[in-house]
Amino acid sequence: MVENNDINKILEEKLYCIGCGALIQDTDKDKAGYTPKSAIEKGLESGELYCQRCFRLRHYNEIQPVDVSDDEFLHLLGKIGDTDSLVVYVVDIFDVNGSIIPGIQRFVGNNPILVVGNKVDLLPSSFKESKIKDWLRQMMNKAGIKPIDIELVSAKTNRSVDDLLEVIKKYQKNRDVYVVGVTNVGKSTLINQIIHQASGQEQVITTSKFPGTTLDMIKIPLDDGHDLIDTPGVIHASQMAHYLSPKDLKYVSPQKRIKPKVYQLNDGQTLFLGAIGRFDYVKGPKTGFTVYVDNNLMIHRTKTENADEFFDKHAGELLNPPLGKENVVPLQRHEFKVEDTSDLVIEGLGWVTVPKGSIIAGWAPKGVSVLIRKAMF
């Protein structure tokens, strides 16, 4: 039996996964090469040391997400640009702006991009899919992305995954398929659904390196002899997930269909979205504002003139997440004059639909994007 101290010494000498070649480490679950100490011990004894990701891939045909930096990801996209392939670009329909990969069209070269809006099951049932598709296409076009098509799915519930596979076949045209996306868009869940439907056999999935990189790519064989290739997820520094603990994340990561909340506000009133977001109605007539956030997130209304004091007194307690005064971070203000009906978006948290002619302000932790976009509805 290998002792913990012995494992630590062995890790200092560098061990590599025999599946993907990643450097074995036991400290960060979200980074490539993560392997629990108990699994390292068993791997050393058997002579077959796999990282946790490859172990689950090998034994359960299940993919676990691995995150990479912006630079690594852009290098990876450039490699895809050197191929002749179809690019499936997965976005979180609840956090479209946080899902945008700047310059993706340029990096993937002439390869066509099929945009997949995931988590469509979270949107209110009154939202029509055809309108969501039109709106999503406009959002993509504004970001310089010209998709050949747009599909809406729910990887979690398996909704429309069959349809997506048919659309992939339509545009694939005897090429490999690369699946890309930022972290937390549900890309790995979608890939796992595809694996479940497309294979079911053991060890049909293989791992290898992206040419010229240390990043592993996971290949899922398709019927025509080509592969569907999963890529690591790029980390967006502007995502709200970076400012919350896993415990607090559950309050901003919807798992069920969102129930919009309507607030009749006079100017000079403020809504606190826990202690991680704030909405001020600066100027305009009394009117309704619709808030789209996780159903569990507590919303508190107060007068704007009292809002700073209210935040200082209650953040981390009455106003949460985050829980605990020590976890509270200052919020930064962003003011907008709204010409048309728009959404004020706090990336990774949700949005507030604002009527035209209003002056408003959105607040979020420094580094989290706050912006105005065309209203989803």
Averaged pLDDT, groups of 10, the chain, 377 residues long: 60 77 85 88 86 80 70 82 95 94 90 97 94 97 96 95 94 94 86 74 50 64 84 75 79 92 98 97 97 96 98 96 93 97 96 97 95 94
SS3 208: strand
Looking at residue 201, what is its pLDDT? 45
Sheet bearing 342-346, strands edge to edge: 261-265, 287-293, 350-354, 342-346, 370-374
Asked if 203 and 58 touch (Cβ cutoff 8 Å), the reply is: yes
Residue with tokens 């398929």: 177
Q: What's the N-to-C CA distance of the chain in angstroms?
A: 61
For 13, residues 6+ apart whose C-beta sits below 8 A from its C-beta are none
Do 53 and 32 meet the contact criterion of CB atoms below 8 Å apart?
Answer: yes
294: tokens are 């996780």
Which residues partner with 288 through β-bridges?
A: 264
**pLDDT at position 19, please?**
72
Q: What is the DSSP code string of 230-262?
A: E-PEEPPTT-GGGGS-HHHHTTTS--S----EE
Q: Tell me how far the alpha carbon of residue 277 is from its chain's centroid.
A: 19
Q: How far apart are CA 340 and CA 68, in angstroms?
A: 38
Rounded to whole angstroms, how far apart are CA atoms 287 and 305? 19
**What burial letters (b/e) apply to 275-310, b meaning 16+ CB within 10 Å?**
bbbbbbbbebeeeebbbbbbeebeebebebeebeeb
Please give the torsion angle defined by the CA atoms of residues 24, 243, 245 and 376, in that order, rounded to the nearest 10 degrees. Answer: -110
CATH 3.40.50.300, applies to 67-234: yes
SS3 193: helix
Tell me the angle at which helices 4-12 and 37-46 cross, rounded to the nearest 10 degrees.
80
Amino acid at position 109, single letter: G
Locate 343 and state its tokens.
């959404």
Q: Where are the domains of the chain?
A: 4-59, 67-234, 242-374
